[in-house]
Amino acid sequence: MTARNGEGSMHAKDAASKVPAVTLTFWIIKILATTLGETGGDTVSISMHQGYLVSTAIFAGILVLFVTLQILAKRFHPFLYWATIIASTTCGTTLADFADRSLGVGYPGGSILLLALVIASLAAWYLTEGSVSVATVSTPRVEAFYWLTITVSQTLGTALGDWAADSGLGYGGGALVFGAALAIVAALYAWTRASHVLLFWVAFILTRPLGATVGDFFDKPAAQGGLDVSRPIATAILAALIVAGILIFPQRPASRAAAI
């Protein structure tokens, strides 16, 4: 009887996780979301002429709203979760652009500073909770650490993507570099005993610059190495693909029993 009660308690904790299980579908939607973050952020800051500071304030407000709703939710809601991810990546896009371009921090300086912030966030989370696995995201405090780390990592990814493109790789070259890096992480995950939790966060960071370079490749003028696709149109297409992915491939909450 005791064993059964313990097992039931464990399953209750499993179900309490409010983020999706890490599957191939998760990574496909994540890359689409980060690409949308680039095109969507640039739509407001550049195409709509709002500037980086005003755009950051707009997206930060939206992000705070969605994070609050995510924390208040009693269970995992796919559309709410991915809306929050998109809010974090659009906010990260305009925030990184504001720091790198408007404040003059520069891509290298911004990337190093943001990497330090990601490490600090993960370290504080680990020291407080004893784990940074996404399967433990089930309480307001852990969710606060999770979304802080997510937002800073999205901002870091934007800076890394812009740095790679600006360093001579171009948007296509940058996408190839970050795609190759993700392939290496996937190989380490499949064929080594490297920490799956560490590899998850490395992959999560790398999908952002991949999305940034792909997004820039779509919407930048041909003279700058892009395809000159309208930013609003590209954003709408990506949003439709994300909605289709959520509807076609049902997602389940992360399980502690299969924690990464």
Going residue by residue through the chain, which has 260 residues, state the pLDDT in tens, using 9 for 90 and above. Answer: 333 444 433 443 444 578 998 999 999 999 999 999 888 998 898 888 888 889 999 999 999 999 999 999 988 999 999 999 999 999 988 988 888 777 777 788 888 888 999 999 999 999 999 999 988 898 999 999 999 999 999 888 888 888 887 787 877 788 888 999 999 999 999 999 999 999 999 999 899 888 878 887 777 777 766 777 888 888 999 999 999 999 998 888 887 655 55
The verdict on residue 255 lying in a domain is: no
Structure confidence at residue 260 (pLDDT) = 59
What global pTM score does this model have? 0.86
The verdict on residue 4 lying in a domain is: no
Give the domain extent around 192: 14-250
What is the number of structural domains in the chain? 1
The verdict on residue 260 lying in a domain is: no
Structure confidence at residue 225 (pLDDT) = 66
Give me the sign of the Cα torsion angle 82, 237, 36, 241.
positive
The verdict on residue 188 lying in a domain is: yes
The verdict on residue 236 lying in a domain is: yes
The verdict on residue 8 lying in a domain is: no
The verdict on residue 144 lying in a domain is: yes
The verdict on residue 83 lying in a domain is: yes
Rounded CA separation 220/200 (Å): 30
Structure confidence at residue 259 (pLDDT) = 52
Rounded CA separation 235/220 (Å): 13
Taking a C-beta distance cutoff of 8 angstroms, is the pair 210, 178 a contact?
yes
Burial pattern 231-251, b for ≥16 Cβ within 10 A else e, equals: bbebbebbbebbeebbeeeeb
Structure confidence at residue 220 (pLDDT) = 73
